[in-house]
Protein backbone atom coordinates (compact mmCIF):
# COMPACT_ATOMS: atom_id res chain seq x y z
CA UNK A 1 0.00 0.00 0.00
CA UNK A 2 2.62 2.53 0.97
CA UNK A 3 4.74 1.93 -2.11
CA UNK A 4 1.72 2.15 -4.38
CA UNK A 5 0.50 5.36 -2.76
CA UNK A 6 3.89 6.94 -3.27
CA UNK A 7 3.45 6.72 -7.02
CA UNK A 8 0.69 9.35 -6.99
CA UNK A 9 1.48 13.01 -7.63
CA UNK A 10 1.71 15.06 -4.45
CA UNK A 11 -1.28 17.16 -5.46
CA UNK A 12 -3.44 14.08 -5.86
CA UNK A 13 -3.32 13.31 -2.17
CA UNK A 14 -2.57 16.69 -0.56
CA UNK A 15 -5.61 18.54 0.22
CA UNK A 16 -6.36 20.54 0.33
CA UNK A 17 2.34 18.07 -19.92
CA UNK A 18 -0.65 18.40 -22.14
CA UNK A 19 -2.97 15.45 -22.23
CA UNK A 20 -4.06 14.10 -25.59
CA UNK A 21 -7.62 12.72 -25.38
CA UNK A 22 -8.42 9.28 -26.78
CA UNK A 23 -8.74 9.27 -30.54
CA UNK A 24 -12.27 7.89 -30.26
CA UNK A 25 -13.42 10.86 -28.21
CA UNK A 26 -14.55 13.98 -30.10
CA UNK A 27 -13.12 17.35 -29.15
CA UNK A 28 -15.26 19.02 -26.48
CA UNK A 29 -17.43 21.87 -27.56
CA UNK A 30 -17.70 24.89 -25.31
CA UNK A 31 -20.49 24.31 -22.84
CA UNK A 32 -23.16 26.98 -22.81
CA UNK A 33 -24.49 28.84 -19.84
CA UNK A 34 -27.16 26.94 -17.96
CA UNK A 35 -29.95 28.97 -19.58
CA UNK A 36 -28.93 28.25 -23.18
CA UNK A 37 -31.18 25.74 -24.95
CA UNK A 38 -28.44 23.59 -26.48
CA UNK A 39 -28.72 19.80 -26.26
CA UNK A 40 -26.51 18.02 -23.75
CA UNK A 41 -25.06 15.91 -26.55
CA UNK A 42 -23.26 18.94 -27.96
CA UNK A 43 -21.11 19.57 -24.91
CA UNK A 44 -20.98 16.47 -22.69
CA UNK A 45 -18.21 14.63 -24.51
CA UNK A 46 -16.67 12.19 -22.00
CA UNK A 47 -19.64 9.89 -21.46
CA UNK A 48 -17.53 7.03 -22.80
CA UNK A 49 -15.52 7.29 -19.58
CA UNK A 50 -18.55 6.52 -17.40
CA UNK A 51 -18.54 2.97 -16.04
CA UNK A 52 -21.86 1.12 -16.05
CA UNK A 53 -22.04 1.25 -12.23
CA UNK A 54 -21.56 5.02 -12.35
CA UNK A 55 -24.58 5.57 -14.57
CA UNK A 56 -26.85 5.34 -11.54
CA UNK A 57 -25.78 8.87 -10.56
CA UNK A 58 -23.77 10.20 -13.54
CA UNK A 59 -26.16 11.33 -16.26
CA UNK A 60 -23.24 12.82 -18.18
CA UNK A 61 -19.51 13.30 -17.63
CA UNK A 62 -17.08 15.89 -18.96
CA UNK A 63 -13.30 16.25 -18.60
CA UNK A 64 -12.48 19.91 -17.88
CA UNK A 65 -8.68 19.96 -17.44
CA UNK A 66 -6.18 18.34 -19.75
CA UNK A 67 -2.74 17.46 -18.42
CA UNK A 68 -0.63 17.83 -15.30
CA UNK A 69 -2.01 17.50 -11.78
CA UNK A 70 -5.32 19.21 -11.02
CA UNK A 71 -7.29 18.84 -7.81
CA UNK A 72 -9.44 20.36 -5.07
CA UNK A 73 -11.87 22.28 -7.27
CA UNK A 74 -14.48 24.23 -5.30
CA UNK A 75 -17.57 26.05 -6.51
CA UNK A 76 -18.30 29.76 -6.25
CA UNK A 77 -21.39 30.78 -4.31
CA UNK A 78 -23.24 31.48 -7.58
CA UNK A 79 -22.28 28.08 -9.03
CA UNK A 80 -20.65 29.53 -12.15
CA UNK A 81 -16.94 29.31 -11.29
CA UNK A 82 -14.44 26.81 -9.92
CA UNK A 83 -11.23 27.61 -8.06
CA UNK A 84 -8.62 24.86 -7.91
CA UNK A 85 -4.96 24.04 -7.41
CA UNK A 86 -2.78 22.65 -10.17
CA UNK A 87 0.75 21.87 -11.21
CA UNK A 88 0.71 21.94 -15.00
CA UNK A 89 4.16 22.23 -16.61
CA UNK A 90 2.64 23.75 -19.75
CA UNK A 91 1.47 26.70 -17.63
CA UNK A 92 5.02 27.52 -16.58
CA UNK A 93 4.90 26.77 -12.84
CA UNK A 94 7.05 24.38 -10.81
CA UNK A 95 4.62 23.50 -8.01
CA UNK A 96 0.94 23.80 -7.05
CA UNK A 97 -0.68 27.15 -7.85
CA UNK A 98 -4.24 28.49 -7.66
CA UNK A 99 -6.47 29.13 -10.69
CA UNK A 100 -10.14 29.82 -11.41
CA UNK A 101 -12.37 29.43 -14.47
CA UNK A 102 -15.95 28.94 -15.60
CA UNK A 103 -16.41 25.21 -16.28
CA UNK A 104 -19.45 25.88 -18.47
CA UNK A 105 -17.82 28.33 -20.89
CA UNK A 106 -14.02 28.01 -20.64
CA UNK A 107 -12.06 25.44 -22.65
CA UNK A 108 -8.80 24.76 -20.79
CA UNK A 109 -7.35 22.87 -23.72
CA UNK A 110 -7.32 26.13 -25.61
CA UNK A 111 -6.63 28.63 -22.83
CA UNK A 112 -4.90 28.74 -19.47
CA UNK A 113 -7.28 29.61 -16.61
CA UNK A 114 -6.80 32.81 -14.62
CA UNK A 115 -4.00 32.38 -12.09
CA UNK A 116 -4.65 33.82 -8.63
CA UNK A 117 -1.40 32.91 -6.85
CA UNK A 118 1.22 35.26 -8.29
CA UNK A 119 3.74 35.60 -5.47
CA UNK A 120 5.68 32.34 -5.68
CA UNK A 121 5.98 29.56 -3.13
CA UNK A 122 3.65 26.58 -3.02
CA UNK A 123 -0.08 27.16 -2.65
CA UNK A 124 -3.00 24.94 -1.67
CA UNK A 125 -6.62 24.73 -0.61
CA UNK A 126 -8.43 27.64 -2.26
CA UNK A 127 -12.06 28.58 -1.66
CA UNK A 128 -14.45 31.34 -2.73
CA UNK A 129 -15.59 33.93 -0.20
CA UNK A 130 -19.12 35.40 -0.24
CA UNK A 131 -19.68 37.63 -3.26
CA UNK A 132 -17.40 35.50 -5.48
CA UNK A 133 -14.98 38.40 -6.06
CA UNK A 134 -12.34 37.07 -3.64
CA UNK A 135 -10.84 33.71 -2.75
CA UNK A 136 -8.73 32.44 0.10
CA UNK A 137 -5.82 30.03 -0.18
CA UNK A 138 -2.71 28.98 1.73
CA UNK A 139 0.75 29.91 0.50
CA UNK A 140 4.37 29.54 1.57
CA UNK A 141 5.55 32.64 -0.31
CA UNK A 142 6.34 34.71 2.79
CA UNK A 143 8.86 32.07 3.85
CA UNK A 144 10.43 31.71 0.40
CA UNK A 145 9.21 32.53 -3.08
CA UNK A 146 10.79 29.31 -4.39
CA UNK A 147 8.82 26.06 -4.38
CA UNK A 148 9.64 24.19 -1.15
CA UNK A 149 11.32 20.82 -1.60
CA UNK A 150 9.26 17.64 -1.61
CA UNK A 151 10.64 14.99 0.78
CA UNK A 152 12.26 12.20 -1.24
CA UNK A 153 10.51 8.85 -1.35
CA UNK A 154 12.47 6.13 0.39
CA UNK A 155 12.01 2.77 -1.40
CA UNK A 156 10.04 0.52 0.92
CA UNK A 157 9.42 3.46 3.24
CA UNK A 158 6.18 4.94 4.48
CA UNK A 159 4.14 7.36 2.42
CA UNK A 160 4.16 10.86 3.97
CA UNK A 161 2.83 14.35 3.29
CA UNK A 162 5.06 17.37 3.92
CA UNK A 163 3.56 19.88 6.37
CA UNK A 164 5.27 23.11 5.38
CA UNK A 165 5.47 25.47 8.39
CA UNK A 166 5.52 28.52 6.09
CA UNK A 167 1.90 27.98 5.01
CA UNK A 168 -0.39 30.85 5.98
CA UNK A 169 -3.87 31.74 4.73
CA UNK A 170 -4.44 34.76 2.49
CA UNK A 171 -7.35 36.49 0.74
CA UNK A 172 -6.91 37.56 -2.87
CA UNK A 173 -9.06 39.14 -5.53
CA UNK A 174 -9.59 37.18 -8.73
CA UNK A 175 -6.73 39.02 -10.47
CA UNK A 176 -4.15 37.85 -7.92
CA UNK A 177 -3.91 40.90 -5.69
CA UNK A 178 -3.52 39.78 -2.09
CA UNK A 179 -5.89 41.81 0.05
CA UNK A 180 -5.35 40.34 3.51
CA UNK A 181 -3.37 37.78 5.49
CA UNK A 182 -5.73 35.83 7.77
CA UNK A 183 -3.20 33.80 9.80
CA UNK A 184 0.17 34.76 11.23
CA UNK A 185 1.17 32.10 13.73
CA UNK A 186 4.28 29.87 13.71
CA UNK A 187 3.70 26.60 11.88
CA UNK A 188 1.26 25.22 9.35
CA UNK A 189 -2.03 27.07 8.66
CA UNK A 190 -3.92 25.77 5.63
CA UNK A 191 -6.88 23.69 4.39
CA UNK A 192 -9.35 26.55 4.85
CA UNK A 193 -12.95 26.38 3.62
CA UNK A 194 -15.91 28.73 4.07
CA UNK A 195 -19.34 28.10 5.55
CA UNK A 196 -22.22 28.29 3.04
CA UNK A 197 -23.68 30.89 5.42
CA UNK A 198 -20.64 33.06 4.63
CA UNK A 199 -19.80 33.85 8.24
CA UNK A 200 -17.06 31.41 9.33
CA UNK A 201 -13.92 29.72 8.03
CA UNK A 202 -12.65 26.32 9.18
CA UNK A 203 -8.96 25.46 8.78
CA UNK A 204 -6.17 23.21 10.03
CA UNK A 205 -3.37 24.62 12.16
CA UNK A 206 -0.34 23.41 14.10
CA UNK A 207 -0.32 26.44 16.41
CA UNK A 208 -0.74 24.20 19.47
CA UNK A 209 1.78 21.59 18.31
CA UNK A 210 -0.80 19.20 16.86
CA UNK A 211 -2.79 19.17 13.61
CA UNK A 212 -6.15 20.48 14.83
CA UNK A 213 -9.19 22.20 13.36
CA UNK A 214 -10.00 25.83 14.13
CA UNK A 215 -12.72 28.21 13.01
CA UNK A 216 -12.62 31.99 12.61
CA UNK A 217 -14.69 34.80 11.20
CA UNK A 218 -14.12 35.54 7.51
CA UNK A 219 -11.99 38.54 8.51
CA UNK A 220 -9.68 36.30 10.59
CA UNK A 221 -11.03 37.34 13.99
CA UNK A 222 -12.54 35.21 16.78
CA UNK A 223 -10.34 32.12 16.30
CA UNK A 224 -11.67 29.06 18.15
CA UNK A 225 -10.17 25.58 18.45
CA UNK A 226 -12.53 22.81 17.33
CA UNK A 227 -10.62 19.52 17.83
CA UNK A 228 -8.31 18.44 20.64
CA UNK A 229 -7.60 14.72 20.19
CA UNK A 230 -4.08 13.67 19.14
CA UNK A 231 -3.91 13.03 15.41
CA UNK A 232 -4.19 14.80 12.09
CA UNK A 233 -7.50 16.66 11.61
CA UNK A 234 -7.93 18.23 8.19
CA UNK A 235 -9.96 18.77 5.04
CA UNK A 236 -13.02 20.08 6.94
CA UNK A 237 -16.23 21.41 5.39
CA UNK A 238 -19.31 23.05 6.86
CA UNK A 239 -22.71 21.47 6.30
CA UNK A 240 -25.10 23.29 3.94
CA UNK A 241 -26.78 25.02 6.90
CA UNK A 242 -23.44 25.84 8.55
CA UNK A 243 -24.23 24.00 11.79
CA UNK A 244 -21.93 20.97 11.40
CA UNK A 245 -18.49 19.97 10.16
CA UNK A 246 -17.22 16.88 8.37
CA UNK A 247 -13.50 16.11 8.07
CA UNK A 248 -10.80 13.44 7.77
CA UNK A 249 -8.68 12.42 10.73
CA UNK A 250 -6.04 10.01 11.90
CA UNK A 251 -6.23 8.74 15.47
CA UNK A 252 -3.01 7.03 16.64
CA UNK A 253 -3.95 4.87 19.60
CA UNK A 254 -0.98 2.88 20.90
CA UNK A 255 2.06 4.58 22.49
CA UNK A 256 4.13 3.51 19.49
CA UNK A 257 1.65 5.01 17.04
CA UNK A 258 1.48 8.26 19.00
CA UNK A 259 5.26 8.50 19.12
CA UNK A 260 5.58 7.86 15.38
CA UNK A 261 2.96 10.52 14.64
CA UNK A 262 4.59 13.10 16.89
CA UNK A 263 8.11 12.33 15.65
CA UNK A 264 6.97 12.92 12.07
CA UNK A 265 5.33 16.23 13.05
CA UNK A 266 8.63 17.42 14.50
CA UNK A 267 10.18 17.18 11.04
CA UNK A 268 7.16 18.61 9.23
CA UNK A 269 5.59 15.39 8.00
CA UNK A 270 2.40 13.39 8.50
CA UNK A 271 1.47 9.89 7.37
CA UNK A 272 -1.99 9.84 5.71
CA UNK A 273 -2.45 6.12 5.10
CA UNK A 274 -4.87 5.51 8.00
CA UNK A 275 -7.74 8.03 8.09
CA UNK A 276 -11.44 7.93 8.87
CA UNK A 277 -14.31 10.40 8.44
CA UNK A 278 -15.60 12.38 11.43
CA UNK A 279 -18.57 14.68 11.97
CA UNK A 280 -19.32 17.23 14.72
CA UNK A 281 -21.24 20.38 15.49
CA UNK A 282 -19.54 23.48 14.11
CA UNK A 283 -18.07 24.28 17.53
CA UNK A 284 -16.55 20.79 17.79
CA UNK A 285 -19.10 19.38 20.22
CA UNK A 286 -20.67 15.94 19.78
CA UNK A 287 -17.79 14.74 17.58
CA UNK A 288 -18.29 11.26 16.12
CA UNK A 289 -16.28 8.93 13.92
CA UNK A 290 -18.69 7.81 11.19
CA UNK A 291 -16.47 5.43 9.21
CA UNK A 292 -14.45 2.47 10.44
CA UNK A 293 -13.48 1.09 7.06
CA UNK A 294 -9.71 0.98 7.45
CA UNK A 295 -6.97 2.37 5.20
CA UNK A 296 -7.48 5.91 3.84
CA UNK A 297 -10.99 7.41 3.97
CA UNK A 298 -10.77 11.11 3.19
CA UNK A 299 -11.90 14.13 1.12
CA UNK A 300 -15.45 14.07 2.56
CA UNK A 301 -17.96 16.59 1.28
CA UNK A 302 -21.62 17.28 2.04
CA UNK A 303 -24.46 16.48 -0.33
CA UNK A 304 -26.62 19.63 -0.61
CA UNK A 305 -29.45 17.83 1.22
CA UNK A 306 -27.31 17.79 4.39
CA UNK A 307 -28.20 14.13 4.90
CA UNK A 308 -25.42 12.45 2.91
CA UNK A 309 -21.64 12.69 2.61
CA UNK A 310 -19.55 11.76 -0.42
CA UNK A 311 -15.89 10.81 0.12
CA UNK A 312 -12.91 8.95 -1.34
CA UNK A 313 -11.62 5.64 -0.03
CA UNK A 314 -9.29 2.76 -0.84
CA UNK A 315 -10.73 0.46 1.82
CA UNK A 316 -11.75 -2.19 -0.73
CA UNK A 317 -8.23 -2.52 -2.10
CA UNK A 318 -5.67 -4.92 -0.70
CA UNK A 319 -2.82 -2.93 -2.23
CA UNK A 320 -3.97 0.59 -1.36
CA UNK A 321 -5.17 1.39 -4.86
CA UNK A 322 -7.48 2.37 -6.53
CA UNK A 323 -9.28 5.21 -4.74
CA UNK A 324 -13.03 5.19 -5.28
CA UNK A 325 -15.88 7.61 -4.49
CA UNK A 326 -18.55 6.51 -2.01
CA UNK A 327 -21.59 8.12 -0.45
CA UNK A 328 -23.17 7.45 2.95
CA UNK A 329 -25.66 8.82 5.44
CA UNK A 330 -24.30 11.24 8.04
CA UNK A 331 -24.21 8.42 10.58
CA UNK A 332 -22.04 6.30 8.27
CA UNK A 333 -24.85 3.93 7.30
CA UNK A 334 -26.07 2.97 3.81
CA UNK A 335 -22.63 3.07 2.20
CA UNK A 336 -22.95 3.31 -1.59
CA UNK A 337 -20.21 3.05 -4.21
CA UNK A 338 -20.40 5.96 -6.68
CA UNK A 339 -17.43 5.48 -9.04
CA UNK A 340 -15.84 2.34 -10.41
CA UNK A 341 -12.56 3.42 -11.99
CA UNK A 342 -9.54 1.16 -11.55
CA UNK A 343 -7.37 4.21 -10.91
CA UNK A 344 -7.85 7.33 -8.75
CA UNK A 345 -11.09 9.20 -8.04
CA UNK A 346 -11.08 11.74 -5.21
CA UNK A 347 -11.94 15.29 -4.08
CA UNK A 348 -15.69 15.06 -4.85
CA UNK A 349 -17.52 18.38 -4.48
CA UNK A 350 -21.21 19.01 -5.17
CA UNK A 351 -22.47 22.25 -6.63
CA UNK A 352 -24.76 24.02 -4.19
CA UNK A 353 -27.86 23.11 -6.21
CA UNK A 354 -26.82 19.45 -6.38
CA UNK A 355 -26.87 19.39 -10.18
CA UNK A 356 -23.15 18.75 -10.63
CA UNK A 357 -20.35 16.83 -8.97
CA UNK A 358 -16.79 17.86 -9.75
CA UNK A 359 -13.95 15.50 -8.85
CA UNK A 360 -10.35 14.60 -9.68
CA UNK A 361 -9.49 11.44 -11.56
CA UNK A 362 -6.76 9.66 -13.51
CA UNK A 363 -9.29 8.25 -15.97
CA UNK A 364 -8.76 9.01 -19.62
CA UNK A 365 -5.35 10.57 -19.07
CA UNK A 366 -1.75 9.86 -19.91
CA UNK A 367 0.33 8.12 -17.27
CA UNK A 368 -0.40 9.46 -13.81
CA UNK A 369 -2.02 12.74 -14.82
CA UNK A 370 -4.80 13.89 -12.52
CA UNK A 371 -7.56 15.89 -14.20
CA UNK A 372 -10.81 17.52 -13.16
CA UNK A 373 -14.09 16.03 -14.29
CA UNK A 374 -17.63 17.33 -13.92
CA UNK A 375 -20.57 14.94 -13.74
CA UNK A 376 -24.18 15.89 -14.28
CA UNK A 377 -25.72 14.32 -11.17
CA UNK A 378 -28.96 12.40 -10.91
CA UNK A 379 -30.50 11.00 -7.74
Q: How distant is the alpha carbon of residue 163 from its chain centre?
A: 16
Beta bridge partners of 4: none
19-33, 154-168, 193-207: range with lowest mean pLDDT? 19-33
How many other CB atoms are there within 10 angstroms of residue 257's CB atom? 16
Please tell me the predicted confidence (pLDDT) of residue 351: 97
CB neighbours (10 Å) of residue 365? Answer: 22
Omega of the bond leading into 322 within 30 degrees of 0 (cis): yes
Reported as a single tens digit per residue, the pLDDT across 33-56 is 343 433 444 456 678 889 999 999
Whether pLDDT at 21 is above 60: no
Q: Which of 265, 70, 75, 234 is nearest to 163 (CA)?
A: 265
Mean pLDDT (whole number) for 275-282: 98
Q: What pLDDT digit, counting tens, does each position of 313-342 carry?
A: 999 887 777 999 999 999 999 999 999 988
Cβ–Cβ < 8 Å for 107, 65: no
How far apart are the C-alpha atoms of 317 and 84, rounded to whole Å?
28
Q: Express each pLDDT in 249-267 by its tens digit.
A: 999 999 999 999 999 999 9
Q: What is the largest CA-CA distance in the chain?
A: 62
- Mean pLDDT for the stretch of residues 112-123: 97
- Provide the residue ranges of all domains of the chain, joining segments of one domain with +: 2-15+43-377
Whether residue 19 has pLDDT greater than 80: no
What are the percentages of helix, strand and coil residues in the chain, rounded to 5?
A: 10, 35, 55
pLDDT tier for residue 366 given thresholds of 50, 70 and 90: confident
Q: What separation in angstroms does the CA of 242 have from each of 152, 254, 302, 321, 348?
A: 39, 34, 11, 33, 19
pLDDT band at 140 (very low <50, low <70, confident <90, very high): very high
- The three-state secondary structure class of 16 is coil
CA 169 to CA 183: how far, in whole Å? 6
- CATH says 2-15+43-377 is which class? mainly beta
Amino acid sequence: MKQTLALFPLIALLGCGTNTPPATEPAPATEPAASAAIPDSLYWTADSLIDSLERKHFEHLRQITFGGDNAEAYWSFDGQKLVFQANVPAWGEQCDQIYWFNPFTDDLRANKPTQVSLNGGRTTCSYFLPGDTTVLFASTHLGDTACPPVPPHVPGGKYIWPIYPAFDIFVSDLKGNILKQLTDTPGYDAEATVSPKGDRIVFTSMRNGDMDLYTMNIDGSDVKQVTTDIGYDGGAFFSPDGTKLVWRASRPKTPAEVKEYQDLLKIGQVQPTQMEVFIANADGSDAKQITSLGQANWAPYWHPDGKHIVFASNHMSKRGFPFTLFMMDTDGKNLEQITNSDQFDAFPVFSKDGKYLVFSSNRGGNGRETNLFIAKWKE
